[in-house]
Structure 1
């Protein structure tokens, strides 16, 4: 009598487990992608909002320039302030002194432009002064160097006086003091003998500009 072979049924649960694992993986990736999308949306929204806030802040700032060139008033003043940080070199080192006066002229011109001051002979002189002063010899000493700073100091006072009359009436006495100091700078005397006057002039000019910028 022939034997009848009966095959045992393979258990189904391994397949069930496998299907559940696959489903779990699919669900995981679906939620992971959705979370990433939400995060990116939040990030983009945050960046956009921040950029808009920055844009509003910049546009509300009087020194903002749409071409990314900010008004040079503050920058020029900072450059001038830095250039007189070593008072011992003023009127002793002609190159250092030249840079200080040149930077002061730039700061005054920037303030004049910001104040919409009309062009004048003094203002045009200061516009050209930085270019003209670049041609001065860095070794120029004595009376010749002193002459190079007498005229710019007078023109600086003239332009600052015009700005003060137009926009800053409370600064009249300070500008008058600056004018008196400028009058003491003597183009007929050696520069290194006028260190106190030149330092006083440059620092007083800094104070006037700072008051106008506040």
Structure 2
């Protein structure tokens, strides 16, 4: 009897693996690229957000840095007003000088346990008003009002703790009174700087 040869079936698992590999390649080519594009879009959006964050916080950083500098108290104020050439048309120098002075007075009041919160709130509003409209012609009036209130606060500290400095405080008050509210600030820089110098002098003596 003739022997019947039975031909063995070839295994199909290599074809299955090959098919899976092809599918994986197709998935990578079509879907992975799409995901990359989506990620790129998200990255672009994040970059925009980050840039906006930095731009919005440039002022915040400036404010924070300025606050850190202001913690120098009296020495910080004296250092800032030491360069009179900073006084410009935008009144940034005058505004910052007032803020430095307010901080110096606040620090000294804290050291002496004197509550001046109510006084400082009003003075702070007056100082901020100076930069709201850089081209306004009534800055001298605002400076004089803020300076007069600051002189009163300094006098309060002096009367309670430094009776020998009454004449020094009076010189601060006189310097404030010499500021003419009807004259442009830049036309009486010497008078404004005189006020800052007198205030710095008496605060330094309180140290």
TM-score (norm 1): 0.57
User: 1:200 & 1:150 partners in 2: Cα distance?
Assistant: 12
Over 3 Å counting, the alpha-carbon distance change for 1:126 and 1:173 in structure 2 is same
Over 3 Å counting, the alpha-carbon distance change for 1:172 and 1:74 in structure 2 is farther
Structure 1: stretches of 5+ with no match in the other structure? 1-71
2:114 aligned residue (102, 113, 117): 117
Indicate the SS of the match to 2:180: coil
In the alignment, does 2:191 pair up with 1:194? no
Counterpart residue number, 1:96 = 93
Indicate the SS of the match to 1:143: coil
1:75 aligned residue (72, 77, 81): 72
2:179 aligned residue (175, 181, 185): 185
User: 1:188 & 1:135 partners in 2: Cα distance?
Assistant: 17
Structure 2: stretches of 5+ with no match in the other structure? 1-68
Counterpart residue number, 1:175 = 169
Counterpart residue number, 1:159 = 153
2:202 aligned residue (202, 208, 213): 208
User: 2:102 & 2:121 partners in 1: Cα distance?
Assistant: 7
2:83 aligned residue (66, 86, 108): 86
Over 3 Å counting, the alpha-carbon distance change for 1:172 and 1:112 in structure 2 is same
1:27-106 correspondence to structure 2 within 5 Å: 75-90=72-87, 93-106=90-103
User: 2:126 & 2:197 partners in 1: Cα distance?
Assistant: 23
Counterpart residue number, 1:33 = none
User: 1:205 & 1:90 partners in 2: Cα distance?
Assistant: 17
1:12-27 correspondence to structure 2 within 5 Å: none
- C-alpha distance after superposition, 1:55-97 (max 9, x if no partner): xxxxxxxxxxxxxxxxx99722222122212113337550111
User: 2:157 & 2:126 partners in 1: Cα distance?
Assistant: 23
Q: CA RMSD in A?
A: 2.6
- C-alpha distance after superposition, 1:157-195 (max 9, x if no partner): 101111111110111111111111111112222111111
User: 1:80 & 1:136 partners in 2: Cα distance?
Assistant: 18
Shift of 1:112: 1.6
